[in-house]
A and B are shown apart, each in its own frame.
Chain A
Amino acid sequence: MNSIGTAVVTLPTSTQILITREFDAPRHLVYRAWTTPELIRQWWSGDRGQVTSVEVDLRVGGAWRYVMIANGGFEVAFNGEYLELVGEERIVSTEVFEAMPDHPAVSTLVLTETGQRTTINLLVEHTSQSDRDMHIASGMEGGMQESLDHLEQVARSLA
């Protein structure tokens, strides 16, 4: 079954972002792809750049850090600490965009398996609505740069 482009983003409260997606794979494989550095490297940057470093210390109190070089040539890094790990069904961690270290969020990933398919619910909780809104407005990492690149193109075409 084709699930391309089926992620759903909703805003349950003024400080939260909820991302939902179903995958055509059993839960243990989704969990493996989500937590294994070599596998994270293959998907985490999406179309926005190349992953250059992934560190995962998968235990409560352990740290994670993902770095990518975005298409604009600049580095984008996130890090956090694992707060709660429940088998292959739940990962709670802090999440900090290193360019804005004073605005940490807490993300809760829940994986649910139904008949060899897995649904993930990723809830990102910010401490304020402005932090949440900033997170969305950036279109995630790289999105801002894409916007600026477009703006630059427009500006050049006007010159």
Chain B
Amino acid sequence: MNDLAAALRLGQPQVSKHLRVLRQVDLVEVRGVGRQRIYRLNARSLKPIHDWVATYEQAWNQRFDRLDVVLAELTANEKGADG
């Protein structure tokens, strides 16, 4: 938790609170090693969120892949005009 607090530049109580919420919804798992508590992401719980955004991301990818084609043409035209 010290590592997380340092990386996020947050106080320990705040980090502790975030982790508690994330644990409640099963997004992180925790285990104790000696006096330390080790947290890890639970990829399985994150997958529905990932899938939810993926469809939206896919729509933008389709747009941008077409924009690449437009840009290739514009770039070629500009080089042609310069040359």
Q: Mark A residues whose CB is within 8 Å of B.
A: 3-9, 11, 17, 19, 21, 23-26, 29-30, 32-33, 39, 42-48, 135-137, 139-143
B75 to chain A, nearest CB (A): 5
Given contacts A3-B68, A29-B75, contact A140 B53 (CB under 8 A): no
How far is it, in angstroms, between the C-alpha of A17 and the C-alpha of B60 when the chains are bound? 12
| Given A5-B61, A44-B63, residue A23 in contact with residue B71 (CB < 8 A) | yes
Interface mask (B38-66 → A, CB under 8 Å = 1, otherwise 0): 00000000000000110111111111111
In the complex, what residue of chain A is closest to B62 when comparing beta carbons? A46
Could you say which interface size class chain B belongs to?
20 to 34
Q: A7-B64, A42-B66 are in contact. Are A25 and B58 (CB under 8 A)?
A: no
Shortest Cβ distance from A141 into B: residue = B59
Beta-carbon nearest neighbor of A135 in chain B: B56
| Structural contact, A24 and B53, CB atoms closer than 8 A | no
Could you tell me if A4 and B68 are in contact, using CB atoms closer than 8 angstroms?
A: yes
A24 touches B68 (CB 8 A): yes
Q: A9 with B71: in contact, given A4-B65, A29-B78 (CB under 8 Å)? A: no
